[in-house]
Amino acid sequence: MAETLRIFVATTLDMEAERAVIGRAIAELPVQLAIEIRRTPPLLPTHEEIFERIANCDRVYFLLGNDITAPAGQEWAVSWQLERSILPLRRSPRSTPAAQEFQRLSPLPWFDFRSATELARIVSLDVARLLKHPANRYGLLVAELERLEAY
């Protein structure tokens, strides 16, 4: 039985519009499969709400802009607590000292992007890699795997 690919997108306040970029990039992949893209509720989310949405995700995309803002810090902490697979992405031409320190403390390298096109490319390639799981968790057909390889 094919699994659903579950993705969580965490963003700082100045990166909110980039959620749509990620959604479009995933929708344009040359495969047909079940994908859920999740986020934290927009108004004062509780720890439990954040935990529930991240708990069984296959990948967390964390987008950092110029400053670390709530609830992004909590989303980051919960993702680590739950040992989720995180891809840290940043577009920060003028990082605040808090954002610089947040980046410095990250155990993972950051992937920089300068435009929506670059972000879409990074995410598309990452999702394509996830979909090529050796056990074919997502139930792709040979033709779909070939299209992903050529993508």
* pLDDT computed for residue 43 by the predictor: 85
Contacts of 131 (CB under 8 A, 6+ apart): 5, 29, 31, 33, 138, 140, 148
Decide if 63 contacts 18 (C-beta within 8 A): yes
* pLDDT computed for residue 114 by the predictor: 96
pTM: 0.95
Q: Return the CATH fold of 5-150.
A: Rossmann fold (3.40.50)
- Could you tell me the residue ranges of all domains in the chain? 5-150
63-105 pLDDT per residue, tens: 999 999 999 999 999 999 999 999 999 998 899 999 999 999 9
**Residue numbers of the chain with a pLDDT score lower than 50:** none
E-strand ranges in 19-146 read 35-38, 59-64, 86-90, 111-112
* pLDDT computed for residue 115 by the predictor: 97
* pLDDT computed for residue 36 by the predictor: 97
